[in-house]
Amino acid sequence: MSTMLDVSGLTHQYGKGEHAHVAVQNLTFSIEAGQLACIVGPSGCGKSTLLRCISGLIPASGGSVRLHGGEVDGVPDDLAVVFQDYSRSLFPWLTVAKNVEFPLRWQNVSRAQRARRSAEVLEAVGLSGVGKKYPWQLSGGMQQRVSIARALVGRPSLLLMDEPFASVDAQTRGELEDLTRTVQRDLGSTILLVTHDIDESVYLADRVLVLSKSPASIVADLTIDLPADRDQITTRESERFVALRGEVARLLQSPQVQRTTPTSGLAVSVESELTTADR
Ligand SMILES: Nc1ncnc2c1ncn2[C@@H]1O[C@H](COP(=O)(O)OP(=O)(O)O)[C@@H](O)[C@H]1O
Ligand SMILES: [Mg+2]
């Protein structure tokens, strides 16, 4: 596997002087091509800040972000982001199909091709046939599917998702989680998804990075060795799932996660000490 994303010593500070707030501090990790990695951490720990730095929306105060080996210093063409708030991220005056093909307007893609690709990704997210509707005619879960389709239409090398299912009901959330895994498998996408939900991180990921409280540093890097085919009921009932979610929960609760050795054979590597959790 080749490295898709390389984050090295990443630090971001909002403001200056006495009003300065360090949101992320010295984060180092990489994501392999084709991986679905979840970042889990408490609210306010700096997850969104981290994604904004990776996507080039805000400049890092220190360290570097590399995509395919090239330094990120603006929003890369082959990167897409799905935000939590679908209701504000779609254009209400454009149809679903036009919303989805919107990112292609700046690429050299003919009108006919745009329409074809829009229809293709809408089908991939289970929304064929709704292209002519407007976003406000759809349920919240469907709108978030449209956002996912729009993110996929440009065939991004890396898809960033920031708490993408936090505003939908539990049933829809499960469906969208399964959709994310299906899309990743079928399209071979590399996905970095941020969540504060422990169960969601374990259910979705090949790998979970656990962040400390603000300023975020990486507490643990766990390989999720659950079978690739997952099911909302049987996977979540399985012994392995329960053990893994317990492991993540313990890590998140512990104020002193310092070089603890794994208790259940997990591939845990403590990349940095949780020295800031008590601040
Ligand atoms: N634009 C901003 N200006 C100043 N502080 C900010 C800004 N955005 C976020 N923060 C602060 O940075 C910290 C991390 O925020 P954020 O990255 O949104 O956390 P998370 O996504 O993990 O909830 C929080 O303490 C938040 O208040
Ligand atoms: Mg956030």
DSSP per position, 207-266: EEEEE-SSSB-EEEEEE--S-SS--TTHHHHSHHHHHHHHHHHHHHH-S---SPPPSSS-
Out of 18, 40, 43, 45, give the residue to mutate to test ligand 1, the one with the largest number of ligand atoms within 8 Å of its CB.
45
Tell me, using a 6 A CB cutoff, whether residue 48 lines ligand 1: yes
CB atoms within 10 A of CB 188: 9
**DSSP strand E in the chain: where?**
3-14, 21-32, 36-40, 62-67, 70-71, 79-82, 158-162, 190-195, 207-211, 218-223
Q: Is the CB of 40 under 6 A from ligand 1?
A: no
* Mean predicted confidence (pLDDT) in 6-34: 93
CB 207 within 8 A of CB 37: yes
pLDDT of the residue at 48: 94
Both structure tokens of 243: 């053990």
pTM higher than 0.75 for the full model?
yes
Lookup: tokens for 269: 């590597």
Which tens digits make up the pLDDT trace of 230-250? 999 999 999 999 999 999 999
Span 149-200, pLDDT tens digits: 999 998 898 999 999 998 888 988 999 999 999 988 988 899 999 999 999 9
The predicted-structure confidence for 86-112, as pLDDT tens digits, reads as follows 778 899 999 999 999 999 988 888 999
